[in-house]
Amino acid sequence: MTSASQAMPLPDTTVSLLEVSGLRVHYDGIQALHGVSFSVPRGQIVTLIGANGAGKTSILHAISGLTPYSGRVTFAGHDLHGVPAHRIVGLGIAQVPEGRGIFGNLTVRENLRLATWQRRDRQRIEEDFERVLVRFPRLRERLGQAAGTLSGGEQQMLAVGRALMSRASLLLLDEPSMGMSPILVQEIFAIIQEINREGTTVLLVEQNANMALRIASRAYVLETGRITLAGSGQTLLGDPRVKQAYLGAVLKHHSVPG
Amino acid sequence: MRATLGVFWDRLMEQRWLLPLLVAVGLALAFAIPQFRLVNNYVQLVMILAGINIILATSLNLVNGYMGEFSLAHAGFMAVGAYTSVLLTLHVFPVAAYPGLFHLSVLAGGLVSALLGLLVAIPSFKVRGDYLAIITLAFLMIVKSALENIDVIGGPRGISGIPRLTTLPLVFCWTVALVWLLRNFVYSSFGRGVLAIREDEIASELMSVDTKRVKVLAFMLSAFCAGIAGALFAHLLQFISPRVFDIVKTTEILIMVYLGGIASIGGSIIGATLYTILLEVLRPSTVAGLLSWLPAVVFDPLNEHFIRHLGVLRMIIMPLLLVLVMLYWPRGIMGMRDFRGFIPLRDRLAHRAATPRGPTRNGTADSH
């Protein structure tokens, strides 16, 4: 009785949700990305690791429509070229920007509500609001508080919660571990895994290669605007080059006192 | 005692009837004062000026306070509104139809000004902060020198013989209407977008805020109000020239905004009123009058030299006030807060758990 399932092609679980090819970005004549290609399969966590200035944020900004680029970015079959940032959100891509991008003088509630600026479906907005508060109970306690008065960890939760308000199918995270204590980093990464398990695809950009590679099913190493290594998270975790450059393996210049 | 007073004040501010009642009383007074000559013409003039200044301050606060830009163009928008309406009054509309069509010429002043607001909004897509401030300053200078060089409209001599059509009830109505409009804008989802742009423009875009549209609307609304104020001002002064709308005028409006406090409608109303009164109190003749009890042998305040110096001094004291306020009192009287009566009920309720007492920080929730 396999004829029924053969009649209709099964949805390919390995199909890419996001496909980036030949991505180039210039800033005032300086080339930040030299033709970057990678893909993010639906339902997985993919990470881009690299040092400061490697071009990680440029990639996310290009995907989100904040930066002009050449090359192709397709999301669920849509070509994203020329789509302005505030429309990209509606297509299902939410980004947690570098440094969290919290509206410090606005309350937690206002921060969350702003994520639904374009939407008019009140009923579903209420549902999303409730869903985010269930996930982050601490935000509920702080709803009327100015977001700038939250602790660093709470602000990061607000930033993630705010992104989740849009029911995005793809979540872009720009260095969520930046400026966080190790315990908080663990907490944030646990949350990212949870969100992913519930069906959200995640593209994670990180300097904290160790944590990122542990949770990623696929990983890319970015160096000065080019992808230099690609593989599964586990493979890259064991790769000597990655170990040397990003995981703090013993290196000559690390033995300098201080 | 203070606590009881405070509770009483809070209760009072929470009454829903308070604001409509104040407006009704104000409206009655605005009509009664000129009708029954309740106050002398000078006091009436000061009241009209206060109304015009309230329009100017609240509308500039939208761009400089709520949106966090630093626009210097406000006097330029005023000039556009003033010249547009005056030309309509003098050359287009028949004299017989003055009182009725005057409303139309004021409105036209606002609309033309709003169109020019669009011109300033466009560079704001690309630049922010200091650079946008310089662009708005350039806009102000272009408006002024354009007016100076068009001889048909009087060039640097300006236009005189404008009929005095601006009355107290008219200014009162415009002030209430425009403040109401601005307040509704600020608490709409567009207003929340304006606040988000001030906080973090990139994050706003990522949160789906159409920042370009929000900026265009904010600049145009702000310019519209300034144009209306300029039209009313011109038909009060009965004389306009490009010099009336120079950087000094912009500075005056800036003082009102920052004295009253950024991102606050109530603050701008207080700031504008206070500034209008202060300016009158500091008038050379008033100061001289206040000092006239001094024995003339020691010091003669009615001495002509002294009075002339006081006039110059005023032009120094006022900008100095701006510098001092921005340095030592950046929040102003009501910075980032507002009268409860101005905050929509749903936002007030949402906020109560967090702030037990005192004036409420403006806004807490997006429009549902």
pLDDT at B351: 45
Residues near B163 by beta carbon (within 8 Å), at least 6 away in sequence: B89, B98, B235, B238
- Positive or negative: CA dihedral A231, A233, A235, A238: positive
pLDDT digits (tens, 9 = 90+) for B4-19: 888 887 787 777 788 8
B193·A117 Cβ contact <8 A: yes
Q: Which residue in A47, A67, A20, A36 sits closest to A175, CA to CA? A: A47
Decide if B336 touches A, using CB distance below 8 A: yes
pLDDT at B285: 72
**Which of chain B's residues have a Cβ under 8 Å away from the Cβ of A98?**
none
Q: Model-level pTM greater than 0.90?
A: no
Nearest residue of chain A to residue B214 (CA atoms)? A117
Give the relative orientation of helices B41-61 and B168-186 as an angle to the nearest 10 degrees.
20
B209·A144 Cβ contact <8 A: no
Mutate to test the interface with B, among A103, A123, A158 (most CBs of B within 10 A): A103
pLDDT at B144: 96
Report d(CA B262, CA B186) in Å as an integer.
13
pLDDT digits (tens, 9 = 90+) for B263-277: 999 999 999 999 999
CATH code 3.40.50.300 for A15-246: yes
Q: Whats the size of chain B, residue-wise? A: 368
**A103: nearest CB among B203, B350, B354:** B203
pLDDT digits (tens, 9 = 90+) for A167-222: 899 999 999 998 889 999 999 999 999 999 999 999 999 998 999 999 999 999 99
pLDDT digits (tens, 9 = 90+) for B322-335: 889 889 888 889 88
**Which of chain B's residues have a Cβ under 8 Å away from the Cβ of A116?**
208, 366
Q: Which residue in A50, A55, A57, A52 sits closest to A241, CA to CA? A: A50
pLDDT digits (tens, 9 = 90+) for A20-38: 999 999 998 899 999 999 9
A103·B364 Cβ contact <8 A: no
Query: Is the predicted pLDDT of residue A251 greater than 60, yes or no?
Result: no
Specify whether the CB–CB gap between B254 and B60 falls below 8 A: yes
How far apart are the CA of A100 and the nearest CA of chain B, in angstroms? 8
A110·B210 Cβ contact <8 A: no
Q: Indicate the residue type of B149.
A: N
Specify whether the CB–CB gap between A24 and A31 falls below 8 A: yes
Task: Please report the domains of chain B, with CATH numbers, ordered by start residue.
Answer: 18-356 (1.10.3470)
pLDDT at B339: 83
**B202: nearest CB among A101, A119, A166:** A101
Show the tokens assigned to B124. Answer: 């704001």
Report d(CA B259, CA B322) in Å as an integer.
8
Find the mean pLDDT for residues B94-112: 87
Query: Is the predicted pLDDT of residue B306 greater than 60, yes or no?
Result: yes
Domain positions in chain A: 15-246
* Rounded to 5°, angle at Cα B362 from B353 and A113: 75
A113·B206 Cβ contact <8 A: no
The backbone torsions φ and ψ at residue A216, rounded to the nearest 5 degrees and listed phi first, read -90, 140
* Per-range mean pLDDT, top range of A122-126, B110-114, B187-191: B110-114
Split at pLDDT 50, 70, 90, the class of B302 is low
Query: Is the predicted pLDDT of residue B365 greater than 50, yes or no?
Result: no
H or E segment to which residue B347 belongs:
helix B345-352
Show the tokens assigned to A145. Answer: 């508080």
**Which of chain A's residues have a Cβ under 8 Å away from the Cβ of B189?**
117
Specify whether the CB–CB gap between B256 and B57 falls below 8 A: yes
**Which of chain B's residues have a Cβ under 8 Å away from the Cβ of A86?**
205, 208-211
How far apart are the CA of B195 and the nearest CA of chain A, in angstroms? 8
Find the mean pLDDT for residues A6-28: 75
